[in-house]
Amino acid sequence: MERVIGVIGGSGVYEIDGLKDAAWQQVHTPWGTPSDALLCGELDGVKMVFLPRHGRGHVHTPSTVPYRANIDALKRLGVTDVVSVSACGSFREEMAPGDFVIVDQFIDRTVARDNSFFGSGCVAHVSLAHPVCATLSALCLQAAQNEGVTVHMGGTYLAMEGPQFSCIAESRMYRDSWGCDVIGMTNMPEARLIREAEMCYASVAMVTDYDSWHPEHGAVQISDILKTLGGNSANARGLVARLPALLGAQHAPCTQGCDQALEHAVMTAPEKRDPELLAKLDAVAGRVLGGV
């Protein structure tokens, strides 16, 4: 099948040199309005879709990002592979500001977000044992290395609700007791929803600070984060620009089964399924629900 790369990121990440036929497209979803219009184009013969996670101008907090609408919109545009690019704090000395981390595990501490497309009337349980696509993640690693970025393969991402940063006690607990490597506010429920929508997912976390655990760096300051983000965004654009050549224009079946995540996940008997909910699931779950 044809590959379409979706990129979820912040300001500047969708400004990719060489993107052909670039056009902003409004997408309507049964889950509401996405964070923004989506920028659609083609790079090196591969279709790409860019979604500003917080909206242009940063209008959404991490808690108010319309995650379900965003993922549904990507699915409706035919996206097969999603690369999430986001800022994070680091709990590890060796994961320094300016470095990238290819995340492979999550601990979800969010509490105020809709984290599933399914619910009463159509219940489904997908596996999140391996929440990212190993193949896509490995290619993101290669792209980062080719771009000359200091990048770390593997790491546990603590997803916090925010919008405030951690206090010192929380930061030390996440680092020392829980064994987390980085912390951010946006990769959950993003990863959960992308798995339900049967798309491959990779998370590229860009380190901006040491959170508040580090005795020599003090409290997180937004001014310091913004300084680091400038260089990170340039590197992220370079990473993203290298992906089409590495991935190719055709999407083979995922060896990890990301594109078949719903195969045996829907539990509700067909005669008990809620027609209204089924109608909303037409894009993300139509493959297993009979093309509703």
CATH code, domain with 263: 3.40.50.1580
Asked if 72 is an active-site residue, the reply is: no
Sign of the C-alpha dihedral, residues 153, 159, 165, 166?
negative
Residue 128 lies in a domain: yes
* Nearest residue to 53 (alpha-carbon basis) of 237, 155, 185: 185
Q: Is residue 205 part of a domain?
A: yes
The pLDDT of 244-259, averaged and rounded, is 97
Within a domain: 290: no
Which distant-in-sequence residues (6+ apart) come within 8 Å of 13 by Cβ? Answer: 7, 50, 85, 233, 236, 237, 240
Instruction: Confirm whether 291 is domain-assigned.
Output: no
Given the residues 181, 211, 274, 282, the one annotated as active site = 211
Band of the pLDDT at 226, cuts 50, 70, 90? low
pLDDT confidence of residue 26: 98
User: Which of 209, 259, 274, 282 is labelled catalytic?
Assistant: 209
pLDDT digits (tens, 9 = 90+) for 136-165: 999 999 999 999 999 999 999 999 999 999
Nearest residue to 99 via CA among 60, 152, 21? 152
Confidence at 86, pLDDT banded by 50, 70, 90 = very high
Residue 154 lies in a domain: yes
Residue 224 among the catalytic residues? no
Q: What sign for the dihedral angle of Cα 159, 153, 4, 22? A: positive
Residue 90 lies in a domain: yes
Helix runs in 77-218, H state only: 134-147, 168-172, 187-196
Nearest to 158 by CA among 169, 167, 171: 171
For residue 276, pLDDT over 60 is answered with yes
Phi–psi pair at 273, nearest 5 degrees = -75, 140
- DSSP category for residue 270: G
Range(s) of the domain holding residue 158: 4-285
**Is position 292 within any domain?**
no
Domain count, the chain: 1
